[in-house]
A and B are shown apart, each in its own frame.
Chain A
């Protein structure tokens, strides 16, 4: 009976080990999306007050978050989804968020790149139209 138990526990451990990377991937995905949505909300508030989006382009996630915090549009500094540390103004290789605006600062795009490449993981922009679903 003990042998059976040990063998089954080993199998469960192996299968859990197979599942863990996909749980970690989804967790990162949710965190990145959450951070982008928080920043997007602050950008909309900024636009309501200033009638344009932040002009400096391109900006890293940290630079944008500092700007939005200092302007009072971001109430609490979000955590960096890749490191789980609170965003700080210092440049970091783990800051994979990029902000871009056009020359009139009327539109923006917020991109989250993958940690190990320049492939875009998520993108949110100032597209204004209701869902077609």
Chain B
């Protein structure tokens, strides 16, 4: 439902290249004329009709190349010798803070300058081509790079390099973390369990600070809106799928309890905080606090269907581990969650995490055949999503139009 809805919004919001965008690279640009060849770009000419260069956008060819949570539309402009003059991000469905890191990284954005159309189309290994991902936004920058190579391959007959299955060390690392998490969840032998602390520390560092691939609403909604990038990031897709499927079958909270770095951080705080500091909620406060993740899931649904300019990475703390890519809201949520965990054990997991709630719902409801309040809430969400998709136009008019 989310995918269909966003496909419709994307087609409505198509953004053809304008002369003004091209003048940033070719100041004398006056007219753009469509190239009838299979390259399907635009010839750029000056006011006397003399050719100045060539411009192309990566969309719609790159719509299946997802970075962290969505595809990116970029403009690439060439001079008359078919050498790239520059690349600009036009629009992106990826996480806004990552996109802003990429567009602000001049080293990455200028690595394309001077390369010819054929050189760009021939790239099949970014490192060999000396194009290195932007630290903290590596998936977004690499997706942009593959979008540009994919675009340059339009009109060529050989198979697209961007859509080939690509297994990188990050994918192997994620699957290793997942398998190790499963071992700790299912093998209760003390000789295995004594390695749990070193494993938690390793996961905290590798998954949190190096990979940054924590399960989050921004990731899941991004995939729901565009597509699941199993070719570009097979490890992350399998990792996410397993984190949902394993608790459903086994009722073991593998991700929340054994893998999530933010969970580990709170667990350590709980372990080393004096018991006298603990605050005990009464039943009313506990019940009300547990509705926060439900309300956050409702907010995710509203933002996604109403198509609001709201960065969902800001409602969860998970991007905060990518130190140079984290937004202020994400850092604030992370710090507040950790401070709260000093006084209320696992405060964020229990009373703030919408992704944890989703995983927990699958785990708890997997073996039940009677309807509960949780099922009623899930049904309400489904009805809400259906209504938001069906009545999108009147809702938009009511909220945004004059």
Q: Which A residues contact B (CB, under 8 angstroms)?
A: 3-4, 7-8, 11-12, 15, 18-19, 22-23, 25-27, 29-31, 34, 79, 102, 104, 106-107, 109, 111, 123-133
Residues in A whose Cβ lies below 8 Å from that of B325: none
Query: Inside 8 A of A19's CB, which chain B residues have their CB?
Result: 299, 302-303, 308, 310
Tell yes or no: B18 within 8 A of A by CB: yes
CB of A131 within 8 A of CB of B284, answer no
| Chain B count of residues within 8 A CB distance of the other chain | 40
- Taken together as a complex, chains A and B put the C-alpha atoms of A79 and B401 apart, in Å, by 12
**A19-B302, A19-B303, A23-B308 given as contacts; is B16 within 8 A of A4 (CB)?**
no
The answer to whether A131 and B18 have CB atoms under 8 Å apart is no
B20 lies within 8 A of A123 (CB): yes
Chain A residues closer than 8 Å to B400, beta-carbon distance: 23, 26-27, 30-31
Q: Which 10 A-B pairs have the closest CB atoms?
A: A7-B288, A22-B310, A133-B14, A3-B284, A30-B400, A22-B308, A27-B400, A123-B20, A127-B18, A131-B16
In the bound complex, do residue A132 and residue B299 qualify as a contact, i.e. CB atoms below 8 Å apart?
A: no
Q: Which residue of B lies closest to A10 (CB)?
A: B288
A35 to B57, CA, bound (A): 26
Q: Does B308 contact A132, Cβ atoms closer than 8 Å?
A: no
The reply to whether A8 and B18 contact each other, CB–CB distance below 8 Å, is no
Tell me the B44-99 residues at the A interface (CB within 8 Å). Answer: 47, 57, 59-60
In the assembled complex, which residues on chain A have CB atoms less than 8 Å from the CB atom of B402? 31, 34, 79
Nearest-Cβ distance from residue A17 to partner chain B, whole angstroms: 11
Given contacts A19-B308, A19-B310, whether A3 and B32 have CB atoms under 8 Å apart is no
Q: Report whether B19 and A127 are in contact in the complex, using a CB–CB cutoff of 8 Å.
A: yes
**9 A–B pairs (Cβ distance < 8 Å), ordered by A:** A4-B288, A7-B285, A8-B288, A8-B295, A18-B299, A22-B308, A26-B400, A125-B20, A129-B32
Q: Are B285 and A106 in contact (CB under 8 A)?
A: no
**Is B175 in contact with chain A by the CB < 8 A criterion?**
no
Shortest B396–chain A CB gap in Å is 8
Measured CA separation A111–B24 after assembly (Å): 14
Residues of A within 8 A of B30 (CB): 102, 107
CB distance from A56 to the nearest CB of B (A): 19
Once the chains bind, are A8 and B291 in contact (CB under 8 Å)? Answer: yes
**B60: chain A residues within 8 A (beta carbon):** 132-133
Interface: B399 (CB within 8 A): yes
> CA A7 – CA B283 in complex, angstroms?
12
Cβ of B57: which chain A residues have Cβ within 8 Å of it?
Answer: 132
Count chain A CB atoms within 10 A of each CB in B19, B60, B315 and give the residue with the most.
Answer: B19
Bound-state CA distance A84–B60 (Å) is: 36
Known: A8-B291, A127-B18, A127-B32. A133 touches B299 (CB 8 A): no
Most B C-beta atoms less than 10 A away, residue of A7, A107, A111: A7
Query: B11 near A: Cβ within 8 Å?
Result: yes
**Nearest-neighbor residue (CB-CB) of B16 within chain A:** A131
Q: Which of A4, A15, A104 contacts B287 (CB 8 A)?
A: A4
Once A7-B284, A11-B291 are accepted as A-B contacts, the answer to whether A102 and B299 lie under 8 Å apart by CB is no
Tell me, yes or no, whether B309 is within 8 Å of chain A by CB.
Answer: yes
Residue of A nearest to B59 (CB): A133
B183 at the interface (CB under 8 A from A): no
Taking the nearest CB of chain A, how far is it from the CB of B75, in angstroms? 12
> Of residues 1 to 42 in B, which have CB atoms within 8 Å of A's CB atoms?
11, 14, 16-21, 30-34, 40, 42
Cross-chain contact A126 with B19 (CB below 8 angstroms):
yes
B288 touching A11, Cβ below 8 Å:
yes
Report the minimum CB–CB distance from B397 to chain A (whole Å): 10
Contact of B34 among A104, A107, A125, A130 (CB under 8 A): A130
Q: Is B292 an interface residue (CB 8 A)?
A: yes
Contact of B14 among A4, A25, A30, A131 (CB under 8 A): A131
Q: Which of B18, B42, B47, B303 contacts A102 (CB 8 A)?
A: B47
- Our pick among A11, A109, A128 for the contact of B20 (Cβ within 8 Å) is A109
A124 to B11, CA, bound (A): 18
Cα–Cα, bound, A4→B309 (Å): 31
Cross-chain contact of A11 among B42, B295, B309, B315 (Cβ < 8 A): B295
Q: Chain B 372-401 against A: per-residue CB contact (8 Å), 1 yes, 0 no?
A: 000000000000000000000000000111
CB pair A132–B40 under 8 Å, yes or no, is yes
CA distance A11 to B298 in the complex (A): 12
Q: Is B296 an interface residue (CB 8 A)?
A: yes
